[in-house]
Amino acid sequence: MIKVNEQFLQYDENTSLLNLRDAIKPNADIIIYNGFPVPIDQSVHDGDEIVFIKRGEIPSQEELETLMVSRHSPGVHERVKKSVVGIAGQGGLGSAVAIALARLGIGTLVLADFDIVEPSNLNRQQYFVHQIGQTKVQAIEENIRMINPYVHTEIHHIKLDEKNVPQVFKDVDILVEAFDRPEMKGMLVNSFFEHFPDRYMVCASGLAGYGDANLIQSQVFGERLYIVGDRHSAASPGQGLMSPRVGVVAHHQANKVLQIILGENQ
């Protein structure tokens, strides 16, 4: 048995890499053999892992999903694909959560932010220099497309308030709070749970500076509100926002979303 493009195959004793390529993906110009690109033909052996790639080719939805499923635990992909997750704010937290969830293969991401990409954002937010001046929601959608073109995205260039929150996030199963200002965090929790008391929220609080990343934890309130952070490091002069700690919190949030989807959040 060998593994070709993440699928197990029976093979013939006399098979070579080039025979396999011609049978499976004749236009492939790159062959990865047990983790290394190989330039020459050779015979294959039991347990080999082979990947054929056509440089620059975008895989079909089915093909990409097969490749993704192969690296997830069994049963994860089906449930992840059915999920609708909202992210309120597309700054350091929101953009990193969006990318983690896109790589997971979440079915639909509902992304809201009123802001524009500025140079100072690039120290921690998941944007690129050429995106300066774009709206953050357009820029993150573009970046998600480059990672996984089959994630459905719904973007809202809007300043969220208690009136529009229920409308923008009406379809989400889980809402991730990724705001900067504490009164906005409070507004979002109160507005969302008022309309959707049976859904889940994953919030952040306390992520500034470069204090010990081990202090960042998640805590549950009630049964449906999670808060990730050290819970007291607010941004202030001398206590800036930097990529590593913001990233730790964002990925804690993304992991909590995955746990909730899989019903393993308790």
The single residue among 43, 190, 210, 217 that binds other proteins, judged by CB under 8 A, is: 190
Interacting span for other proteins (CB under 8 A) from 17-25, 46-54, 165-173, 184-192: 184-192
Closer Cβ to other proteins, 189 or 258, answer by number? 189
Question: Nearest 5°: CA angle at 202, between 224 and 97?
Answer: 150
Closer Cβ to other proteins, 63 or 194, answer by number? 194
Q: For residue 170, how far is the Cα from the chain centroid?
A: 21
Neighbours of 63 (CB within 10 A): 13
The single residue among 224, 247, 254, 260 that binds other proteins, judged by CB under 8 A, is: 224
Please report, as a single letter, which amino acid is at residue 181.
R
Quick one: residue 75, left, alpha or beta (phi over 0 = left, psi -120 to 50 = alpha)? Answer: left
Write down the least CB distance from residue 95 to other proteins, Å: 12
For other proteins, what does the binding mask look like between residues 242 and 261, x meaning CB under 8 A?
----x---------------
Residues 193-212 that bind other proteins (CB under 8 A): 193-194, 197, 203-208
> Residue 24 corresponds to which tokens in the numbers above?
């499976």
Q: Is the dihedral of CA 133, 137, 138, 143 positive or negative?
A: positive
Residue 183, interface with other proteins (CB under 8 A)? Answer: yes
Question: Nearest 5°: CA angle at 174, between 252 and 128?
Answer: 55
Interacting span for other proteins (CB under 8 A) from 62-70, 148-156, 220-228, 254-262: 220-228
Residue 161, interface with other proteins (CB under 8 A)? Answer: no
Q: CA–CA separation, 118 vs 52, rounded Å?
A: 40
Closer Cβ to other proteins, 149 or 186, answer by number? 186
The single residue among 95, 218, 233, 265 that binds other proteins, judged by CB under 8 A, is: 233
Closer Cβ to other proteins, 116 or 234, answer by number? 234
How, if at all, do strands 49-53 and 30-33 pair? antiparallel
Residues 50, 32: contact at Cβ < 8 Å?
yes
Can you list the alpha helix ranges (DSSP code H) found in 8-58?
A: 17-24
Residues 52, 4: contact at Cβ < 8 Å?
yes
Interacting span for other proteins (CB under 8 A) from 9-17, 131-139, 167-175, 178-186: 178-186
Residues 81-100 that bind other proteins (CB under 8 A): 91-93
Residue written as token pair 């529009």: 164
Report the interface residues with other proteins, using CB under 8 A: 91-93, 179-183, 185-187, 189-191, 193-194, 197, 203-208, 221-225, 227, 229, 231-236, 239, 241, 246
